Each structure stands twice: as C-alpha cells, then as structure tokens.
Structure 1
Amino acid sequence: MPESRSEAETDEKGETPSKNIISVISQFADDNLTIVRNISTGLAIAGVIVISRSIKLITKFGLASEIPARFIEKNVSLRGRVQTITETGLEVEHIPIYIPVLSPLLAKGGGRVYPLAVRLAGVELTPEGRVWLEQHLSPAQTVWLKLVSREEETLHCLVSGSLRSLCLNEEVLRLGLARTVPVSGLHPQSHLYLRLHQRLLKAEVKAERKGRGMWKEDSLWERTSQAVWDNSLVRLIRRIFKLESKFMNVARLRPVSEYNCVIMCLCLRSRSSICQLIAQRLL
C-alpha cells in the first residue's frame, strides 16, 4: 500500500507541469483575445498573398509573354477592356481579378501597361468584318478572351461579349464577314484544333448556304445585264451613240449644211487620221 501511494503521488507531480502550461496558454489567449485574432488574420492574409503571387491570380498582364504557359494550356478565360480595332483583330487591356485589400498591395506601380494584341482564332477578317467589329465593340467595352494559343506577342483567342453568350469568332463567320484559316500555334491533329476548326467551319458553311456577306451572289437578272453591258458589240454601239450625241451638240451651236453634217458623222466614225482631220476642219 505505501508503494502504490507513492507512485500515485509521483504521477500527479509529473502531470502537474503539463497542466500548468496548457492553463497558462489558455489564460493568455483569453486575456489577449484581440491580439490572437489579429495574428490569425495576418497569417491568413499572408497565405493568400503568397498563393496569389504564385498562381498570378490578380496580376495585370501587359504583354502576351507575361501570361503563364499553363493558362494557355488550360484555355483560361481572361477579362479585358477593348481599346481599338486593328487590321488583324483587337487591342484589349487586361482586367485582373480585384480583391479589395490585396489588389492595391500587389499592383505594379510606375510601369506602363500596354494592351494585349488579340486575334480571333481561326478567323481572317474582311474589311467589312472590321467595320462590323467597330460598330458592335465600342471602346472600353468588356470582353472575355478564351486563350487558345500564343504567337510571339499575339494571343489567338475565342472572343466573347460581356455576357459570354456570343462568340465573335463564330458570329463574323456566320454573317459572311470572314473566312476560316488554320489556327496558329496548334498542331493540326490535336483534339482542340479539330474541335475548334469544325466549330468555325460549321458557321462558315451556314453563311455560304444562305448567301450572306462575301458569299452573296448576284441574281440572274444582275448577271445577265452585266454580261450584256460588258459585251464588245454593245460597247461599240454605246461609243457610236456617244459620238453622235457629241456631233448633235456641235450642230446646235454652229449651223452647217446637211451635206457637211453627213460627212462629219462619217469622218467621226472612221479611225482614219485623214477623216478625223476633215471632221476637225468641219467643226
């Protein structure tokens, strides 16, 4: 019995220091609850900053080369603001994700940010297509860019409006304002290339069947009248009537005999230099 009693006292003495440490920490946390909360918040913010920097979540891209390769491989969609319509596509200012506290801290100050050069992937615009884009994409309008490939400092994207319900690549093809071309930066046998090219080709075929835009054909009457108008015999008759009208105008201004009028008309119709000289003398 004395031995068991001494062992119990030893166990109680051994547990006493650990219990004292826990109680002290608990008491400190209770007394300084605000400090503990601030420390937790600071650690959380620091973690978010580290993660955001690593994945470039709130970075504003000013050049196509600044966009990580994994963004393009995963076909990430970026939000942007239209600056201008160019000969080959658009110039778009990237709008990053905005987080109230972190975005001002991570913003790059002092450096000039250039707009991104964007081309409609798989599409070659006609002049009418560029005019259509200028009419339907006002400056500072928000668009979505689904990254397809990158070629130097040019991005090939599927461009959508602010509601992301209308793909401009397909729309210009559907209206006959562009033609399909191979998608730059993608392997012709890749799944993405085949799927995208088939999608764009379907829109182009639809425009061709309905005769829209560049696929519009003249009616039978327009084609017939144009062929008649370009005929060589018709051109000769038009030329003769033009010369006769010129002769009649001269005859009204200067009285001449009927004989001279006949000679003048024949000389004007002739290509001989002598006849033309006679006609000039009569005039």
Structure 2
Amino acid sequence: MSPHGGRGGAKENDGNDFLHRLSLFIDKHITAINYSLYFCGGIGICVILYSIRVHKRFTCVSQVPNEFIKKHFKLRGQVQSVHNDHLLVDHKPIISLKNSTVPKPLKINLAGVEYNKEGVQFLEEQALNKQVWFRLIQFKGHDGINCTVSTRKSMFKVFNLNEEILHRGYGKVVPLMGHSTDAFTLRLMQRLLQAEMYAEKKEKGLWKEEETSYFTSSIVGKAFRKIINIFKKGA
C-alpha cells in the first residue's frame, strides 16, 4: 500500500468518525436543539412585532413614525366623527392592551380628495362608528395625516372611500404635495382622476351643475396630469 493511500484513508476515516459523532450528538440533544430554534425564532418575531408597533395606539400625529409614512403602512380604527375636511378615527392596534384612559382620535384626511356636503353625508352613512382601514400617505400639517380610507361591505367587497366619493360626484381631486415622485402616490392619484372623470362624464353629483371640470378643462388640471404622466414614464 502506498503512503499516500494510507494518509488518504486515514483522513476519510477521520471525516466519517466526525460525522458519526456529530450525528450521535444531534440525536442525543435533539429536543434541546429544537427548543433553542423555537426560542430564537420567538425572539425574532418579538423584535419584528415591536418594530411595527403592534401594541402601540397612536393618539396624535407626532406618535406616528416617519417609517410608517414612507412605507405606507395600513392601520385599523373606528370612525368617531365626520367633518367637512377630515375624519376623527380611534386607532385600534393589532394587539390591544388594557388602558384606563380614554384614547384621543387621530385626525385623518382623505388623501387627494376635497368633498362637499353630500360627501360628508356619504361618509357618515358608510363609515361613522364603523371599523375602517386607513393607509398612511403623508403628514398634513402638524395635526393631520393624508390617508386612503376603506371599509368592508362584505367578505368580498371593500370600499375605497377616497375613490367612491369621486366616483359618485361628491368631490374633486386635489394634488398631494411633497410626494410627487412616489410611485404609490402617483398610482393613487391616477385612480382618483379616473374616478373623477367617470363622474364628470356621467354628470353625477356636482358635475350636474358645472360645465367645466377643474382638472380636465382647467389649465391647472392639464398641468397636473402632464406632471403625473412625466413621472409615470420615468418610473
């Protein structure tokens, strides 16, 4: 037998012996290993849950992290009251902890929408004292947040209230400032404009009384659409 063959065989035996010992160790401590993996996984889940504030009830705009706005997080809440330009929504965290104090509602504005008194009535009918989902778009001043607001009508039907108000002719599109290059916001504005144009074409709501559209016939509207198209091509 050659010396090289002997050394090769010894290395192979050492490798097999190591694998054998490792296999025996794993078999002997399999329960402890499984618990360790579960423990590490649990810590990871806890870190993730803490980072997205699943237990945190937001009662004012300053408590909402900038990262939530940037990533357009969707939150849940109950509408307490409807006003001419905003909703007051009691935020409901994913994990609710008992709190002896009465929570203050968040001031939520319907992003990209300016609605009339019929719009207020519509929101009262569809959302007042009901659970809604609101997706964060951008801060509005120091005390409000522009959001898309949706409510579930049935298991398979969800109403986007921003679009529905425009679709029924209860309001007009208004531009959002500060996030003109954000792809999500651009897609939202395109959907809102489509809903507004549908209502105008069908002469619904306020379009029964007006001969020209603020965003389809005016200089401001044409310029706004042109900006959207430019950013859409560049995206």
Match of 1:170 among 151, 163, 172: 163
1:156–1:184: 8 Å Cα contact kept in structure 2?
no
Distance 1:199 1:25 in 2: 60
Map Cα deviations across residues 26-63 of structure 1 (whole Å, 9 max, x no partner).
65654454333323211221122123323x16343413
1:215 aligned partner:
207
Distance 1:135 1:59 in 2: 30
Greater Cα shift, 175-184 or 21-30? 21-30
Match of 1:136 among 116, 122, 126: 126
Map Cα deviations across residues 184-216 of structure 1 (whole Å, 9 max, x no partner).
4434x7665555444323322332343322233
Distance 1:158 1:18 in 2: 61
2:111 aligned partner:
121
User: Greater share of strand residues, 1 or 2?
Assistant: 2
Which structure 2 residues correspond to residues 87-126 of structure 1 after superposition, within 5 A?
Answer: 87=83, 88-97=85-94, 110=99, 112=101, 113-126=103-116
2:54 aligned partner:
58
- Higher relative contact order (CA closer than 8 Å, sequence separation 6+): 2
Matched, 1:74 2:71: yes
Aligned residue for 1:215, secondary structure, equals helix
2:82 aligned partner:
86
1:120–1:157: 8 Å Cα contact kept in structure 2?
yes
Query: Percent identity among equivalent residues?
Result: 33
Distance 2:38 2:182 in 1: 46
1:79–1:96: 8 Å Cα contact kept in structure 2?
yes
* CA 1:17–1:165: 2 relative to 1, 3 Å: same
Greater Cα shift, 23-32 or 35-44? 23-32
1:85–1:130: 8 Å Cα contact kept in structure 2?
no
Match of 1:48 among 37, 45, 56: 45
Greater Cα shift, 14-23 or 119-128? 14-23
Amino acid at match of 2:54: I
User: Greater share of helix residues, 1 or 2?
Assistant: 1
Once the 2 structures are TM-superposed, how far is the Cα of residue 19 of structure 1 from its aligned partner?
9.3
Q: Which runs of 5+ in 1 are unaligned?
A: 9-13, 98-102, 219-283
Greater Cα shift, 111-120 or 148-157? 111-120
Aligned-CA RMSD value = 3.9
Greater Cα shift, 151-160 or 24-33? 24-33
Distance 2:86 2:165 in 1: 12
1:255 aligned partner:
none
Matched, 1:39 2:36: yes
Distance 1:177 1:115 in 2: 25
Aligned residue for 2:147, secondary structure, equals strand
Greater Cα shift, 190-199 or 18-27? 18-27
- The TM-score normalised by the length of structure 2 is 0.64
Q: Which runs of 5+ in 2 are unaligned?
A: 211-235
